[in-house]
Chain A
């Protein structure tokens, strides 16, 4: 099946720093990738839809200036958490759709646990 690679798996940073998370589709081209966030004991929640070559679409309540998404190629989307604060500490995970695998099926990265001190 399709593989999505996400790095880093874990990051600890100081308040005020920016953190970049990468999401790569290894064996397929992903025109669209999705970024989710999960707080402890909560469900995965969609943050934004990343479209190759165009601006990301953010869900209501997600600050686009805080969570910068770049989808510069068909295999790479990045999420940058700008000026991270302790409240941004969460689990972030990406997914992508392989057009050849069917319109509904999504493939996920393994996630990034962000801890902001």
Chain B
């Protein structure tokens, strides 16, 4: 089993703060890296799917970068808002693997205080 590690496990920030967290993964046999935003009692929502080394993607105040050679991805949130409170999951997909065989990290739980 190839482990995907996320840090920190949880994070508490004030509204307006910018924040970032890390996803690290084995770089061998890499195909894609997924980021999901998961609010309690809701479905995980896909944020980004990244495949190329050096990829940077942005969606509103949220952006992500990918380094496949060293095996890490950063998720950035600029000017955090209370509605950003959620668990952020990253998952790695192996090259040649089943499309559903995402290897997930345990997530980073973000709490944004007003």
- Report which A residues bind B (CB closer than 8 A): 1, 4, 6, 9, 32-34, 41-46, 49, 57, 59, 93, 95, 97, 102-111
Contact = CB atoms under 8 A, between A and B. Distances in A.
Which of A44, A95, A108, A110 gathers most chain B CB within 10 Å?
A44
B34 A49 contact: no
Interface residues of B, number: 24
B51 interface: yes
Given A41-B106, A43-B4, A43-B105, A32 B42 contact: no
Nearest to B4: A43
Given A104-B93, A107-B43, A44 B99 contact: no
Nearest to A4: B43
A110 B4 contact: no
Given A104-B34, A104-B99, A106-B99, A43 B104 contact: yes
